[in-house]
Amino acid sequence: MSHETVKGDAFENLLREERQFAPSPEFAAAANVKEGIYAEANADRLAFWAEQARTRLTWSKDFTETLDWSDPPFAKWFVGGEVNAAYNALDRHVENGLGDRVAIYFEGEPGDTETITYADLTERVKRAANAFEALGVAKGDRVAVYLPMIPEAVVTMLACARIGAVHSVVFGGFSSEALRSRIDDAEAKLVVTADGTFRRGKPSPLKPAVDEALAEDGHTVQHVLVVRRNKQDVAWTEGRDLDWSEAMASASPEHTAVGHDSEHPLYILYTSGTTGKPKGILHTTGGYLTQCAFTHSAVFDLKPETDVYWCTADIGWVTGHSYVTYGPLINGATQVMYEGTPDSPHQGRWWEIVEKYKVSILYTAPTAIRTMMKWGSDIPAKYDLSSIRILGSVGEPINPEAWMWYREVIGAGKAPIVDTWWQTETGAIMIAPLPGVTSTKPGSAQVPLPGIAVDVVDEAGAAVPNGHGGFLVVREPWPSMLRTVWGDPQRFKDTYWSRFEGMYFAGDGAKKDDDGDIWLLGRVDDVMNVSGHRLSTTEIESALVSHPWVAEAAVVGAADETTGQAVVAFVILRGEAELPSGEGADAEIIQTLRNHVGHEIGPIAKPRHILVVPELPKTRSGKIMRRLLKDVAEGRDPGDATTLADPTVMQKIAADLRK
C-alpha cells in the first residue's frame, strides 16, 4: 500500500470556515439524544454499548459478555447472545401492534407505486424464507443478490438473515465479470436477480449479466430466482431459473424466526481496496444491528411515529444495507424507496417525491447535492419541501458550498445537516454531529459518536494536536466493525491493523481543527471516490492491462467539481498489437478501452479520460509515481521529477498531451 503524505493545503480554505449553526432550542429539547450521552459513553464504553444492544434489539437469548477482544483484531461482541435480524426488523413490530404502519413507500422509476406495511413486509419475508429453504438454502449458505432498488431487494436480504443465510449484494451497475468473481469468491448457492429495471423511462436489463456470469461450469450456483420487474423477454435455463412470484405464491406465509448467534455472519459486501481483487467485507449479527439501530436513531433523530425517512443509496452499497434495510426497519421507521435516477423524467423528480410523501429526513451523497446545485435552485423551489427537518450526507467529503446550498435551498435554512463519516468496513456511522447537540460546521463530520474511539495520528501513530492533520484511525473495537475479509484473515490484518500498532487504519486523511473537530481529507491510499462510489486504481489498471492492446496502465483520481474525483487513465500500448489505423483510430482505441473497463468492472469504473503515453513515470525501484500523473491530470505542472528513473518521462508525457 502506498501512503502519500497528507496534503492539507487544498483544505486550508475549508479550515478557515468559521460559520457554525447551533440546533434551535426547540429541536434540541425534542431530540432523541442529549449532550449527556457523551459523558455516559465515556464513563463506561462497554456498558454503554451493552445498554444499546439490550434496549434497541430483542434478543432471544441474552449475551453474557459485551466484548471479547482476547484475540485482536478478531472481535466478538455480545458473546453468547442470540438474535434474529428479521424478527427485529419485522415480526416484533407487528407483535407490538404496528402491523399497519407503512414500512416502505415504493416509487418505481416509471411511476408505479406500492405501499408496504410492516405486516405485508413480514409476510413477504416469511414466504421468501420458506422459498429459499425449499431451494436448499440453509444457515451459513451464501446468496448473491443482483437486484435493482425494488422491495424484493429488502425482502431477499431479510429472508436470508431470517434463516441465517449470508447475503452478498452486488450492485446492479457492476458487470457480469465483477458479478462472477463475487459469486465465485463467496461460493454462492443461490442468485436472486430481476429481468431488469428501468433507466430513464426505458427497460434496462440485469439477468443477461447473471447468465453470462454463470455461462461457464464450475460455479456453485444451483438456482437463479428471477423477479419479473420490467417484463422483458429473458433467456431461461430450465431447472436452474425460477420465477420469483411463482416461488412466493407456493411458499407458506408462516415462518418462525429463531435466534442466531450474535457473531453469526450476516452478510458479505465486496469493496475496492488497494489491490486488484475486491475484498469481501464480513459483517456479523448482534454488534452490527446494535450500531445500525443506535446510529439511525441518534444521528437522524428518528421519530418512527411521525417521520418519513428517505435514504437515496442503492442497496448495492453499504449505505443501502445499514440505512435502508437494517437500521430503519429495526427502528420501525417509515421510508421511501425509489428505483430510478434523479433526473427521470425530469430534474425535479426527487423533490416531487419529497413533497408527495412528506419526507422529513433525507440522507444522500454530496455528488448528488452538487449535481442538483448545478441544475439550479429554481427546480427544488417549485416543490413544497417544508416537511424536511433533518438532512444527512455520506460517502465523500462535502464542500462548504454544497453544504450551505443543501442547508439553505433544501433545508430552508433550518434543518440540521449531519455529515456522516463511515465505511463499508465500519458497518455504521462513526463520526457525525448529533443534530440536537452539535453546532454544525459546513464541511466537517466533526465528532466521533458516543462509544466510538476515533483519532487522527501522525506517521508514528501519535495523536496529532488540534490544528494538525494526519491519518484517521479507530483506537478501540466497535460493535459494527468488520470481522474479517471473507476467506482471507491475513488480508484483514494486513490491510487494517498493520499500519499502526493496535489501531484500525481507515485509509483516510483527516485534520483536527482548533476545537478538535474532525475534517475528512479524502483517501491516502490507492482508492478513488467517484460520485461517492469507491473504486480502486489498481483494479482499473488490472482491467486495462487485461486488454491485448495494453502493455501498461496507471490510473489516478483527478479532482472533479461534481463527482469529487474522476477516473483518468494513462496507458502504454503494445508495440506488437494490431491496432486500428487511419482516421478516427485514436478515438476508436480509447472507446474500446473504456468499454473494456466497463465490461470488466462496470460502467461506473469507465475512465473519464484515457491518455495514450509513451512511458510512465517510475521511481528507480519501479513504482509508478501516481502523484505526478495526478498533477498532469489536474492540469498542474508536475514540478520536481528528479526521483524518477528517467527524469525526462514527464516532459515526454506533457509533450504528448500538447499534441
Of 330 and 528, nearer to ligand PRX (C-beta) is: 528
Residue 422 assigned ligand-binding role:
yes
Residue 56 assigned ligand-binding role:
no
Task: Show the CA angle centred on residue 415, arms to residues 411 and 416, nearest 5°.
Answer: 125
Residue 304 assigned ligand-binding role:
no
Of 105 and 504, nearer to ligand PRX (C-beta) is: 504
Least distance from ligand PRX to the Cβ atom of residue 438, Å = 14
Least distance from ligand PRX to the Cβ atom of residue 337, Å = 18
Residue 319 assigned ligand-binding role:
yes
Residue 199 assigned ligand-binding role:
yes
Least distance from ligand PRX to the Cβ atom of residue 420, Å = 5
Of 88 and 271, nearer to ligand PRX (C-beta) is: 271
Residue 261 assigned ligand-binding role:
no
Of 288 and 317, nearer to ligand PRX (C-beta) is: 317
Least distance from ligand PRX to the Cβ atom of residue 480, Å = 12
What CA–CA distance (Å, rounded) separates 593 from 591? Answer: 5
For residues 335 and 310, the answer to whether their CB atoms sit within 8 Å is yes
Q: Which residue has the cell 479507530?
A: 474
Of 87 and 421, nearer to ligand PRX (C-beta) is: 421
The one-letter code for the residue type at 358 is K
What CA–CA distance (Å, rounded) separates 296 from 62? Answer: 23
How do beta strands 564-573 and 113-117 pair? unpaired
Residue 490 assigned ligand-binding role:
no
For residues 406 and 369, the answer to whether their CB atoms sit within 8 Å is yes
Q: Where on the chain is the footprint of ligand PRX (CB under 6 A)?
A: 271, 317-319, 394-397, 419-424, 445, 506-508, 520, 523, 529, 534
Q: Which residue has the cell 435493482?
A: 148
Residue 534 assigned ligand-binding role:
yes
Residue 396 assigned ligand-binding role:
yes
How do beta strands 74-79 and 279-284 pair? unpaired
How do beta strands 527-530 and 533-536 pair? antiparallel
Length of the chain: 659
Least distance from ligand PRX to the Cβ atom of residue 489, Å = 20
Residue 184 assigned ligand-binding role:
no
The one-character DSSP state at 61 is B
Nearest to 543 by CA among 343, 254, 290, 277: 277
Least distance from ligand PRX to the Cβ atom of residue 432, Å = 8
Residue 202 assigned ligand-binding role:
yes
Beta strands in 272-333 (DSSP E): 279-284, 308-311
Residue 162 assigned ligand-binding role:
no
Read off the C-alpha cell for 538.
Answer: 489498481
Of 192 and 535, nearer to ligand PRX (C-beta) is: 535
What CA–CA distance (Å, rounded) separates 416 from 592? Answer: 46
Nearest to 362 by CA among 354, 352, 374: 354
What CA–CA distance (Å, rounded) separates 298 from 313? Answer: 19
Of 23 and 507, nearer to ligand PRX (C-beta) is: 507
Least distance from ligand PRX to the Cβ atom of residue 425, Å = 7
How do beta strands 223-227 and 190-194 pair? parallel
What CA–CA distance (Å, rounded) separates 460 from 453? Answer: 18
Residue 18 assigned ligand-binding role:
no
The one-character DSSP state at 137 is -
Of 118 and 270, nearer to ligand PRX (C-beta) is: 270
What is the maximal distance between C-alpha atoms in the chain?
Answer: 74
Least distance from ligand PRX to the Cβ atom of residue 651, Å = 33
R_g over Cα of the chain: 24
Least distance from ligand PRX to the Cβ atom of residue 642, Å = 31
Buried b (16+ CB within 10 A) or exposed e, 180-209: bbbbebbebbbbbbbbbbbbeeeebbbbeb
What CA–CA distance (Å, rounded) separates 68 from 72? Answer: 9
Residue 238 assigned ligand-binding role:
no
What CA–CA distance (Å, rounded) separates 194 from 207? Answer: 6
Least distance from ligand PRX to the Cβ atom of residue 121, Å = 25
Of 168 and 420, nearer to ligand PRX (C-beta) is: 420
What CA–CA distance (Å, rounded) separates 451 from 31? Answer: 19
For residues 114 and 335, the answer to whether their CB atoms sit within 8 Å is no
How do beta strands 279-284 and 484-485 pair? antiparallel
Region of 394 on the Ramachandran plot (φ > 0 left; ψ -120 to 50 alpha; else beta): beta
Residue 594 assigned ligand-binding role:
no
Least distance from ligand PRX to the Cβ atom of residue 69, Å = 23
Of 116 and 269, nearer to ligand PRX (C-beta) is: 269
Of 534 and 599, nearer to ligand PRX (C-beta) is: 534
Least distance from ligand PRX to the Cβ atom of residue 446, Å = 10
Of 210 and 520, nearer to ligand PRX (C-beta) is: 520
Question: Per the annotation, where are the binding residues?
Answer: 199-202, 319, 395-397, 419-424, 508, 523, 531, 534, 545, 547, 550
Question: Per the annotation, where are the binding residues for ATP?
Answer: 395-397, 419-424, 508, 523, 534
Question: Per the annotation, where are the binding residues for CoA?
Answer: 199-202, 319, 531
Question: Per the annotation, where are the binding residues for Mg(2+)?
Answer: 545, 547, 550
